[in-house]
């Protein structure tokens, strides 16, 4: 079994490997496979990058995100300027229905509300604005309007798993409850778990994905 010390070491090395991050700004603590990230970075993008890199490490069961965002005076933007930038970013993104999204900005925190037909449209709305200067965080409250045929959704998700080389479809159970998808079973890594969840989210009209997938603890042989 991979020790907490080894997981901590691997996460720190993964953070150092990312040229967009200054690893000395980020603290890493591990307990029972749960990684806690702390420290202060100057952009929302770096905060997300730190979490994304930690997820890649084998043995990581969960991540507690405690990184704070400190926007420098150079990067400071007024709420009205941020709102205008957000509106333009959504307008020019081909994968976003900007006419169905409402925007609110308060102290650099952007709140998105509204209703779209697909999960990718909801996700793209956040992606389109999270890199904008002055944005501290994004609250994505956009909902997906259910337009789903429960009769074939199970087959679509299962086929998606089978096409993905990183997913062992035989170990994941898919249950359809209206417009909600419940996933269960065991996978080999955090990344495989996320890939399965992402594939389920890609199904048309899905409003929620409930993941009960467990991560198998890898066994390590001394001297191997």
pLDDT in tens, 33-86: 999 999 888 778 888 889 999 998 999 999 999 888 776 555 578 899 999 999
Per-residue burial over 3-20, b = 16 or more CB atoms within 10 Å of its CB, e = otherwise: eeeebbebbbebbeeeee
The pTM for the full model equals: 0.48
Q: Rounded distance, CA 22 to CA 41, Å?
A: 9
User: What total number of domains does the chain contain?
Assistant: 3
| Pairing status of strand 180-187 against strand 172-177 | antiparallel
Is residue 130 domain-shared with residue 182, that is, in the same domain?
Answer: no
Is residue 90 domain-shared with residue 78, that is, in the same domain?
Answer: yes
Compute the CA torsion angle 37, 42, 48, 51 (nearest 10 deg).
-20
Which of 144, 173, 191 is the endpoint of a domain? 144
Sheet containing strand 34-41, edge to edge, reads 26-31, 34-41, 62-69
What's the residue count for the chain? 224
The answer as to whether 100 is a domain residue is yes
- Over the stretch 174-189, which tens digit does the pLDDT of each residue have? 998 888 899 999 998 8
């Amino acid at each position: 079994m991979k020790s907490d010390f080894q997981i901590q070491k691997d996460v720190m090395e993964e953070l150092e490997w990312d040229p967009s991050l200054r690893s000395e700004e980020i603290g890493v603590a591990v307990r029972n496979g749960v990684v806690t990230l702390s420290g202060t970075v100057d952009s929302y993008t770096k905060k997300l990058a730190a979490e994304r890199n930690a997820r890649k490490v084998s043995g990581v069961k969960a991540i507690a995100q405690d990184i704070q965002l400190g926007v420098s005076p150079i990067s400071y933007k007024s709420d009205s300027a941020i709102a205008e930038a957000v509106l333009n970013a959504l307008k020019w993104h081909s994968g976003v229905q900007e006419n169905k999204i409402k925007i609110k900005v308060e102290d650099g925190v952007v709140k998105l509300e509204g209703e779209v037909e697909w999960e990718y449209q909801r996700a793209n709305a956040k992606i389109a604005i999270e890199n904008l200067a002055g944005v501290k965080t994004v609250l994505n409250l956009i909902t997906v309007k259910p337009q789903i045929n429960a009769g074939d959704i199970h087959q679509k998700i299962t086929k998606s798993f089978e096409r993905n080389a990183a997913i062992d479809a035989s170990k994941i159970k898919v249950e359809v409850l209206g417009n909600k998808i419940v996933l269960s079973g065991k996978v080999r890594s955090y990344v495989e778990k996320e890939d399965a969840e992402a594939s389920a989210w890609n199904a048309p009209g899905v409003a929620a994905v409930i993941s009960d997938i467990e991560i198998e603890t890898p066994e390590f042989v001394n001297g191997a």
